[in-house]
Each structure stands twice: as structure tokens, then as C-alpha cells.
């Protein structure tokens, strides 16, 4: 089980929770899943639905984020480079068959054989996996000490062998087996988790039903009883924050699975049955470049852009100070791994100083300008216009407005960039799959362990569907982050992660823009058990219990915030 930081959508009726004698948690969001294929899913909307169907050997506690046994009975027993793990009996898939060591081995074989981009980075340390018997599994490791084995590998979702074996065998016959596997259309995923797939009406809602026989129901984590204690979840698709906010005010939904724009805070705080919360975000938003082509392949150009982007202005004017400028990749809330001493290009400079600094950097690299003020390459040819893909304003006005500002700042130095509002699905397709883009603005929802410093920028993640669609490749950086993934002394590993953050802020395949506070809202008259965590209140979902009709105490934005992380589906870092 995972206390998943997930999105949940809503109900069709205008009544609170009790629809047709069943109780559904109704959650509103802005988009629907892009796939039900767990091996392909890499976006928020897909994972927040299908993540409920998959168990893992280990999970993280909410708040403390300590790794604890889950499907595994206990922690691994090591003998040299071999880790032996006993699996609990009595865990079943929703077709009635048991989850066994054979499912674990099969999952491992698929990830290792196909080198699935979204998983392989935490499995490349594994030589092979053996099912000793139905409930005992052995992991043969390439090295004796690999910190990511427990922090990543063993938190991976387990798929059912019976469901996926025919798909895998067919994919292996194809010219491109990996592409075939990732393009496989899953209609009804098998589940060993607390919910099962029920219905998906495209463009309207997704419904998942609670499993009455969920093996972990009633168990305690940190004194909280594990559910689900309701009949299921309705993920209602609204398309815009405005529509979801209106639905929450009307009592049509119980929770908005999206960070609310600052402009809605005062409005929602006036609602008697709505509670607004503010938690530190566990993610960041960024401008990324396709460094395979000019001018983005030139570090001087990327540095000039970094000088131009006024992150402080974006935070104060667009975010209304519900966040902070990003000068690294690791969020401040993940304080142990956050390096606040990275290069801060442009910080504290006025607009005129930013423009002057950007022009100086370009001039020193051999660039010049024609009589019309257009930027010219060192060879005298013009820097051609390019597009910056951004989500549209009705999806995320903060990123859309950031794109418009960056467009104007670039034009100050003779670069004809155009912020191009584009649907989230199209951006993901062009960036991740086709890798046909100039620049884009997106965001990441992160895990606890900072190994994303490795996977986001490692050369082996530059393939389609990998985490490095920018095409950034630096052998020195690869060696640095590879070493961090193999360093078992936590303080030494911290030094390497800090160096990686510094190097990325020097190399700039990304220009991180801002860390955003998670402003969320829920109907406090329908369910009880919500709690704040790093990344928001979504980790509460599996513990929630329906309320009676008693009116709750009115609450506004919460004061003290716990700076710790809810468990999320590991490996599956999510685009948002």
C-alpha cells in the first residue's frame, strides 16, 4: 500500500457524498489519465488513478517518510550481494489469485529485460531476481551496498504475471519490443491494492471501487487506521480550476486534486464547509530546452536566458508569494538534501541589469546583433524564432503567464520567442515521445530520495519516454550522479547530491523557475482524517472516514506545517 499523493475526482450528483446509498470520495481535477499502462504512465493524472492498483514490497510512512515493510514481511536479509525477502501470504489480486514471489520476479524481469525508462534507473543495480518458492524472493545485486535498493527498487509497483505475460511475449516478437510494450492499451488493470478499476467515461470521470477484501484494511500506520472506509473514488474531470472551485463551493466534490491559484484563497476561505490548507510543495516548475539543437546547445545562450528570467518577479506577482524562486532542483521542504548555495544567476538584479548581463554573456561568446536588433550567431546567421510550449491559461495560469513573461524578456535581447499555449497531453507527447520541441514549461512532483538528480539529467535517460527528453549529456555529470547512487555513507552522498545541484545550475539544461506552495481545499463536512504533509494533503485519502451530517468547525489556511513527505509511488516521478 502506499499513502499515495493522488488526485481524486468527483460525483455526478449535487448531493454531498451519499449518492445511491453508496459513499464515494469525490475529487475534482483538470485532466484525465493518458494511459492505464503502468509501464508507460509518467503524468500526474494517470498515476493518481492507477497507482491505487499496485502494491510494493516496501512503502513509506506518511510524515516520517521512513521505509517500512509492506508486501514484504520484514526487512531484507543480506548475505554478501544477495538479499532475501519473505512475502506476506493472503494478499490477492482482484481476480482472486494470490500475489506471490513469481509476480515479483516477473516484474523485475520485465523492467530489466526491456530496460523500461521510468523504472530501470532504480533497477540497474540488480543482476537478477529469483523466486525461491511462492513466498520467498532473492535479489542478486551487482554491488554489496546500493542505497537505492531499499529507497527505490523495493518500492516499485508489482504487476501481475498472469495479466502481463501474454503482452510481454507478444512485444518480444516485435521489431521494437519496448515501444510495443509501452503502447499496449490496458483496458481494466488488475489490482492488488485498495481499489479496483470500475469505469472511465472519457472527458467526464473515472470511477474506482473499494476492495472489500483489501488485505491491509484495519491495519495501523502511526496510529492511523488504513481504509478504504468508503465505497470508492470518483475522479471528476473539470478542465479548469475555476470549474472545480465552483463545484467545491456547491458541495458537488470533496477535494480539489490540484494546487489552487492564490486568487481563490480568500473566496474559498469564506465558505462555511470548506477548509483551505497550505503545505510546502514537493516539486518544482521549470523552463527546459532541447539541447540537441541550436541555440539551446550553447551554454552561453542558456546562461543568458537564466539571467533574463526574473524568478522573484514571477513569485511575487504571479504566485502572490505562495512559493519561492527556484535556484536548484531539490525543494526547500526536503531540507536535508536541499542545497541553498547553488549559483543564482540574475538574483537581485533589476530588469536593466538582467538585460545587460545577458547581452554581455552572449557578446563574450561571439554573438552579435543586426541593425534591427535581432540576435546573430557567431557565424553571422540569425537566431531563428522558436516556441516555448506552456500549458494553457485555463489549465495553469501561472505557467501560462510565466511563459508570456519569458517571451517578452527574450525579445529584449533580440530573440523572437513565442509562448505557445498547448494542451498538457500534447506537450507530453511532443516532449517525451516525439522529442520534437524547442523549449517548454512543465513541473515535476517528486519523491523523497533525491536520486531524481541522476535520472532527470543522465545520458541513459535521453531516449523516448525517458526522464531526460532535453538530450542533456555530460560524462562528468553522469559519473558524479552514478557515484551518488552507490554511496552508502549518507553524509558523503549528501556532498555528491549538493555538487550535482551546483553543476545543473551551472550547465542549465533546465532553468528552474519556482517552488510552489501546495494550496488545497476540501469539504470539511463530508470526510474526516485530512492531514498536511510535504506535497499536500493527498496522502490522507486512504485513511479518510465519512462524516455524519454534523457541521464541522470552520477553518482557514492552516498555520504550522509539517515539513515531511507522504509516501508516493516511487520511481514514477510525475509531470504536472
Structural domains of the chain, count? 3
pLDDT tens for each residue of 521-539: 999 999 999 999 988 999 9
Is residue 318 assigned to a domain? Answer: yes
Is residue 5 assigned to a domain? Answer: no
The values of phi and psi at residue 80, to 5°, are 55, -120
Which residue has cell 501560462? 400
How large is the angle between the packed helices 299-308 and 397-411, nearest 10 degrees? 110
Same domain? 342 vs 442: yes
Q: What is the pLDDT of residue 6?
A: 32
Domain boundary among 516, 542, 557: 516
H-helix or E-strand spanning residue 325: strand 323-325
Domain boundary among 498, 516, 534: 516
Q: What CATH number corresponds to the domain at position 161?
A: 3.90.76.10
The values of phi and psi at residue 13, to 5°, are -90, 165
pLDDT in tens, the chain (576 residues): 433 333 333 233 333 444 457 999 999 998 999 999 999 998 889 999 999 999 999 999 998 889 999 999 999 999 999 999 999 999 999 999 999 999 999 999 999 999 998 899 889 999 999 999 999 999 999 987 788 899 899 999 999 999 999 999 999 999 999 999 999 999 999 999 999 999 999 999 999 999 999 999 999 998 899 999 999 999 999 988 899 999 999 999 999 998 898 889 999 999 999 999 998 889 999 999 999 999 999 999 999 999 999 999 999 999 999 999 999 999 998 999 999 999 999 999 999 999 999 999 999 999 999 999 999 999 999 999 999 999 999 889 999 999 999 999 999 999 999 999 999 989 999 999 999 999 999 999 898 899 999 999 999 999 998 999 999 999 999 999 999 998 989 999 999 999 999 999 999 999 999 999 999 999 999 999 999 998 899 999 999 999 964 444 444 443 332 222 233 344 456 667
Query: In angstroms, rounded to a whole number, what is the distance separating the alpha carbons of residues 179 and 166?
Result: 16
Residues 6+ apart with CB under 8 A from 220: 226
Same domain? 101 vs 158: yes
Q: What SS3 class is residue 409?
A: helix
Per-residue exposure over 533-562, b if at least 16 CB sit within 10 Å of its own CB, e if not = bbbbbbbbbbbbebbeeeeeeeeebbeebb
Which residue has cell 516532449? 431
Q: What CATH number corresponds to the domain at position 400?
A: 3.10.105.10
For residues 452, 56, 120, 471, the Cα torsion angle rounded to the nearest 10 degrees is -40
Q: What is the pLDDT of residue 143?
A: 84
Tally the C-alpha atoms within 13 A of residue 511's C-alpha that lie toward its C-beta.
29
Query: In angstroms, rounded to a whole number, what is the distance separating the alpha carbons of residues 296 and 439?
Result: 9
Query: In angstroms, rounded to a whole number, what is the distance separating the alpha carbons of residues 158 and 509?
Result: 33
Same domain? 140 vs 184: no
Same domain? 246 vs 186: yes
Q: What is the pLDDT of residue 574?
A: 62
Same domain? 297 vs 202: no
The values of phi and psi at residue 26, to 5°, are -110, 120
pLDDT tens for each residue of 414-439: 999 999 999 998 999 999 999 999 99
For the chain, the C-alpha Rg in angstroms (whole number) is 24
Is residue 180 assigned to a domain? Answer: yes
Q: What is the pLDDT of residue 573?
A: 66
Residues 6+ apart with CB under 8 A from 240: 30, 394, 395
Same domain? 139 vs 267: no
Cβ 326 vs Cβ 284: under 8 Å: yes
Burial of 381 (0-12, 13-18, 19+ CB in 10 A): exposed
Q: What CATH number corresponds to the domain at position 195?
A: 3.40.190.10
Domain extent, residue 140, equals: 58-167
Same domain? 253 vs 138: no
Domain boundary among 128, 149, 167: 167
What HEC string does 29-72 produce?
ECCCCCCCCCCCCCEHHHHHHHHHHCCCCEEECCCCCCEEECCE
Which residue has cell 508516493? 568
Same domain? 150 vs 178: no
Q: Say if residue 295 is preceded by a cis peptide, omega within 30 of 0.
A: yes
Query: In angstroms, rounded to a whole number, what is the distance separating the alpha carbons of residues 138 and 131?
Result: 6
Residues 6+ apart with CB under 8 A from 481: 453, 454, 457, 458, 496, 500
Cβ 507 vs Cβ 477: under 8 Å: yes
Q: What is the pLDDT of residue 280?
A: 85
Same domain? 136 vs 179: no
Is residue 9 assigned to a domain? Answer: no
Is residue 77 assigned to a domain? Answer: yes
Same domain? 107 vs 180: no
Beta strands in 189-308 (DSSP E): 195-201, 205-210, 220-221, 224-225, 232-237, 255-256, 274-279, 283-289
Q: What is the pLDDT of residue 447?
A: 86
43 has which bridge partners?
A: 575
Same domain? 304 vs 416: yes
Same domain? 192 vs 324: no
Is residue 435 assigned to a domain? Answer: yes
Which has the closest alpha carbon to 525: 544, 551, 553, 558?
551
Is residue 129 assigned to a domain? Answer: yes
Query: In angstroms, rounded to a whole number, what is the distance separating the alpha carbons of residues 461 and 470?
Result: 10
Q: What is the pLDDT of residue 12?
A: 32
Which has the closest alpha carbon to 294: 302, 303, 283?
302
| Percentage helix, strand, coil for the chain under 3-state DSSP, each rounded to 5 | 30, 20, 50
Which has the closest alpha carbon to 546: 256, 269, 254?
254
Query: In angstroms, rounded to a whole number, what is the distance separating the alpha carbons of residues 104 and 56?
Result: 9
Amino acid at each position: 500500500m502506499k499513502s499515495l499523493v493522488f488526485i481524486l475526482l468527483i460525483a455526478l450528483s449535487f448531493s454531498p457524498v451519499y449518492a445511491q446509498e453508496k459513499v464515494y470520495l469525490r475529487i475534482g481535477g483538470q485532466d484525465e489519465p493518458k494511459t492505464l499502462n503502468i509501464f508507460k504512465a509518467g503524468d500526474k493524472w494517470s498515476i493518481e488513478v492507477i497507482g491505487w492498483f499496485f502494491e510494493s514490497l516496501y512503502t513509506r510512512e506518511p510524515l516520517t517518510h521512513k521505509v517500512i515493510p509492506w508486501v514484504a514481511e520484514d526487512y531484507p536479509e543480506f548475505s554478501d550481494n544477495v538479499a532475501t525477502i519473505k512475502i506476506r501470504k493472503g494478499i490477492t489480486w482482484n481476480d482472486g489469485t494470490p500475489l506471490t514471489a513469481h509476480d515479483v520476479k516477473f516484474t523485475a524481469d520485465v523492467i530489466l529485460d526491456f530496460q523500461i525508462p521510468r523504472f530501470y534507473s532504480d533497477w540497474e543495480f540488480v543482476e537478477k531476481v529469483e523466486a525461491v518458492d511462492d513466498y520467498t524472493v532473492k535479489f542478486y545485486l551487482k554491488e554489496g551496498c546500493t542505497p537505492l535498493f531499499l529507497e527505490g527498487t523495493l518500492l516499485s509497483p508489482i504487476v501481475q504475471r498472469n495479466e502481463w505475460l501474454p503482452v510481454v511475449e507478444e512485444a518480444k516478437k516485435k521489431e521494437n519490443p519496448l515501444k510495443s510494450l509501452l503502447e499496449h492499451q490496458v483496458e481494466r488493470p488488475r489490482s492488488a491494492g485498495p481499489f479496483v478499476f470500475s469505469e472511465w467515461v472519457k472527458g467526464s470521470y473515472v470511477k474506482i471501487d473499494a476492495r472489500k477484501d483489501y488485505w491491509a484494511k484495519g491495519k495501523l500506520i502511526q496510529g492511523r487506521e488504513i481504509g478504504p472506509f468508503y465505497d470508492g473514488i470518483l475522479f471528476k474531470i473539470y478542465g479548469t480550476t475555476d470549474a472545480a472551485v465552483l463545484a467545491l463551493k456547491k458541495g458537488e466534490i470533496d477535494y480539489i486534486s490540484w494546487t489552487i491559484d492564490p486568487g481563490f484563497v480568500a473566496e474559498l476561505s469564506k465558505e462555511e464547509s470548506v477548509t483551505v490548507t497550505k503545505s510546502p510543495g514537493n516539486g518544482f516548475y521549470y523552463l527546459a530546452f532541447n539541447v540537441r539543437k541550436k541555440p539551446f546547445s550553447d551554454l552561453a545562450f542558456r546562461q543568458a536566458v537564466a539571467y533574463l528570467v526574473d524568478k522573484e518577479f514571477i513569485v511575487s506577482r504571479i504566485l502572490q508569494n505562495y512559493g519561492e524562486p527556484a535556484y536548484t532542483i531539490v525543494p526547500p521542504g526536503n531540507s536535508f538534501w536541499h542545497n541553498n548555495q547553488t549559483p543564482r544567476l540574475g538574483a537581485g538584479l533589476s530588469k536593466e541589469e538582467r538585460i545587460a548581463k545577458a547581452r554581455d554573456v552572449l557578446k563574450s561568446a561571439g554573438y552579435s546583433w543586426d541593425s534591427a536588433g535581432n540576435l546573430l550567431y557567431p557565424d553571422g546567421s540569425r537566431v531563428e524564432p522558436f516556441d516555448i510550449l506552456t500549458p494553457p491559461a485555463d489549465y495553469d495560469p501561472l505557467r501560462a503567464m510565466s511563459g508570456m513573461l519569458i517571451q517578452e524578456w527574450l525579445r529584449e535581447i533580440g530573440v523572437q520567442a513565442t509562448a505557445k499555449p498547448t494542451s498538457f497531453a500534447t506537450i507530453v507527447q511532443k516532449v517525451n515521445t516525439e522529442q520534437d520541441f524547442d523549449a517548454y514549461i512543465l513541473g515535476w512532483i517528486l519523491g523523497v530520495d533525491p536520486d531524481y538528480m541522476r535520472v532527470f539529467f543522465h545520458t541513459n535517460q535521453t531516449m523516448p519516454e525517458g526522464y531526460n527528453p532535453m538530450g542533456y549529456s555530460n560524462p562528468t555529470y553522469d559519473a558524479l550522479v552514478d557515484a551518488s547512487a552507490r554511496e552508502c555513507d549518507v553524509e558523503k552522498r549528501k556532498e555528491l547530491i549538493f555538487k550535482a545541484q551546483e553543476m545543473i545550475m551551472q550547465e542549465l539544461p533546465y532553468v528552474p523557475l519556482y517552488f510552489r506552495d501546495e494550496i488545497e481545499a476540501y469539504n470539511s463536512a463530508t470526510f474526516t482524517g485530512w492531514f498536511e504533509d510535504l506535497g499536500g494533503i493527498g496522502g490522507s485519502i486512504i485513511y479518510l472516514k465519512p462524516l455524519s451530517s454534523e457541521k464541522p468547525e470552520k477553518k482557514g489556511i492552516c498555520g504550522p506545517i509539517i515539513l515531511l513527505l507522504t509516501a508516493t509511488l516511487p520511481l514514477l516521478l510525475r509531470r504536472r
